[in-house]
Amino acid sequence: MARLNVSAILAAAVLLLTAPLPPVSAQERQAPVSLGQLQLSFAPIVQRVAPAVVNVYAQHIVENQNPFLADPFFRQFFGGVPSRQVERSLGSGVIVDPSGLVVTNFHVIRGASQVKVALADKREFPAEIVLKDPRSDLAVLRIKDAHDRFPTLQFGDSDKLEVGDVVLAIGDPFGVGQTVTHGIVSALARTQVGSSDYQFFIQTDAAINPGNSGGALVDMRGRLVGINSAIASSSGGSEGIGFAIPANLVRIVVASAEAGSHTVRRPWFGAKLQEVTPDIADSLGLKVPTGALVASVDADSPAAHAGIKVGDLLVSVDGTPVEDPNAFGYRFATKPLGGTAQIGLVRQGHQMTLPVTLQPLPEMPRDEVEIRSNSPFRGATVANLSPALADELQLDSQARGVVVTAVADGSTAQSIGFRPGDIVVSVNNERITNSAELERAANTGGRSWRITINRHGEQISVMFSG
């Protein structure tokens, strides 16, 4: 066996420790060793997905509110007569069906009387709005007067995104033309963004600016994982905090449009949920405040039929944990109709799972009618209130009766103060239960009116004299 020369080893160690280290940059950086490494680029992904991202131009008419134009004396100085102005908004969109179905943000086309879509190859087409869903801040358009098969983006599974994944944002910021930015997924399940009822956003540091709304957030396989929707900014421009609506929610809205529906058909749970505060967590014996606490259950709802009770702590949907009511709402709303969802819960310290049927909100004939008679309701459009319409108007799902769905500009109803969402309870002390009764009361009323409405849970009674 060879003997170790201890003196030689110690001498070598001293030389290693005292020798000057190479520069840090030389340790961290490497020169390219192949042509392939020099050519790494996002360009192949962009070339594949960019043709499916479009610009969306929306315009709507607003009344000129200059008070001087209403007076003939001042009109001679200001010129013209009371007129209308055209306001335009710019956003982005994504083609999701070869026939020309485009998804964008609802706030891009809100109030629009005319919509136009411009493709990446500079062609422009008029478009019609086929579905508006303010609750998710999404809308679906259809390109008109075109017989082409358009390029599309394939949906990715947004639930499989992880923080740190690289993503690309494509849209038309500030109207300068199609622009691509890149970044990473900064966070998932962001809430308190404020642009949607479904507070479950993808956060990214890919630059998103005004005009990007409705554009695509894609992964490294070129799949649509989100629709860019909002930014957090003190300057109005990108500061590295952008938010996108997850593709799994977008998919539900698009599927409703493809099925020919003008509204989104989502699973109905039928219970009000509240956040678990630290105090509530202590009272329930939880180590951390998590889950969604059932505050009330609607009668004859899927939750009621499944046996969900007030005080239950909902902790998962089909095995996926939910940390708060927003997470539960998103997970449940993105389940396909039909079948059941397994809801994990804790009841009095015992864990259990209950199957909840995935069925849509009950619908009924709306019998929508515009009141044209000389009455306080003139110019108001009213309809029979069903759970589905209550959900659409963001009202209490238990509310019933006749609801105002629209109020014409400049109408008697608008001047009196009626608003969409007002529920008409009674007219001249007679209970109103359907739109036909309200139309009849409006036609037969006299000069004095006593009207009771329900507005966001508050009962309001007013008197009018004509």
Catalytic residue among 89, 107, 158, 186: 107
The two structure tokens encoding residue 448: 């004095």
Q: How many Cβ atoms sit within 10 Å of the Cβ of residue 464?
A: 14
Q: How far apart are CA 205 and CA 3, in angstroms?
A: 61
Let me know if 350 is a catalytic residue: no
Residue 423 burial (10 A CB sphere; 0-12, 13-18, 19+): buried
Catalytic residue among 137, 205, 324, 422: 137
Catalytic residue among 89, 213, 229, 386: 213
**Closest-CA residue to 442 (of 389, 368, 366, 380):** 380
Q: How many Cβ atoms sit within 10 Å of the Cβ of residue 279?
A: 9
Phi and psi (nearest 5°) for 444? -105, -5
Instruction: Indicate the helix (H) or strand (E) that contains 64.
Output: none
245 beta partners: 227
Let me know if 145 is a catalytic residue: no
**Closest-CA residue to 413 (of 457, 371, 456, 367):** 371
Within 8 A by CB and 6+ apart from 120, the residues are: 50, 51, 53, 54, 178
Phi and psi (nearest 5°) for 57? -110, 120
The two structure tokens encoding residue 394: 């963001």
Let me know if 316 is a catalytic residue: no
Place of tokens 């996926």: 320
Enzyme catalytic residues: 107, 137, 213
